[in-house]
Structure 1
Amino acid sequence: MGNHDAVNNGKALYKAMYGDFDFSFIVGNTKFILLNTNFLEFDGKAPDLVWLEAELKEGQKYDHIFVLSHIYPILYEFGRDQGKGEQYGALISKYNVSYSLHGHRHAYNLFYPFDGRIPYLVSGATERLEYIVFTINGDNITFERIQLNS
């Protein structure tokens, strides 16, 4: 859920269409965890890091874990000033997440914050005709940045 989706009646509409704000699913031997990180729009109650840790613990039986959220943890809008960003970074590292994937700023960025071990990838925006394709082949994970307007 993007931060603009959470205004007005957006929360109710999102929930009616998609279900829970936080959820996970399995594809093959990979766990995908989708975390609501709209700290400001959810009165400081998001992200739910207790829920995230439970999902990460359960995910240890899979070869790969991807955590996806709209706002990334080094931003104020994540709850960084309340320590939520650092807590998130510690959990991601503790449970050896394969990738932490984000949006929000509409500009591609690959970086390694906190302890420098886990890749954090911010995707470009669809208005720029840009997207990322991941390929998982056993232990090997690769991605390709597709830019249709270049």
Structure 2
Amino acid sequence: MALRNIRKYGDDILRKKSKKVDVINNRIITLLKDMEETLYEEDGIGLAAPQVGVLKRAIVVDIGEGIYKLINPEIIYSEGSYIDKEGCLSIPGVQGEVKRPNKVKVKALNEKGEEIIVEGENLLARAFCHEIDHLNGILFIDKVIKKEGENNI
């Protein structure tokens, strides 16, 4: 495993749409492991492959309840909404209030290539939505209702 460099706001890769993972091979498994290690090193709760310079549909999320490693994740159900603060490892020093669903179901593949459905509420739902947005070139600042921080973006 290795730490990966996190791409920062202004890097073009953060605005590109990620490609579907067609084959789960050693490169994808290594990517997920590296993303997990990088996530913990940076003390984050979620990381998407584009944030480490890879345009593949893969995310890792851990809000303190264990790691989720999701390949080709897609939201198949959402309900409710609430507004809360978000930040991003790719946009250090900036936080903003973003409206997100308070419950989601996400369909994805696990590392074995098995289709799984995971559910998240509140912070976990927010993290899933935030990271899946990254796969589509969308940053949380695109959805901010009210922004806070020293950077003027």
Which structure ranks higher in relative contact order (CA pairs < 8 Å, sequence separation ≥ 6)?
Answer: 2
Higher helix share: 1
Higher strand share: 2
**Highest Rg: 1 or 2?**
1
Q: Normalising by structure 2, report the TM-score.
A: 0.29
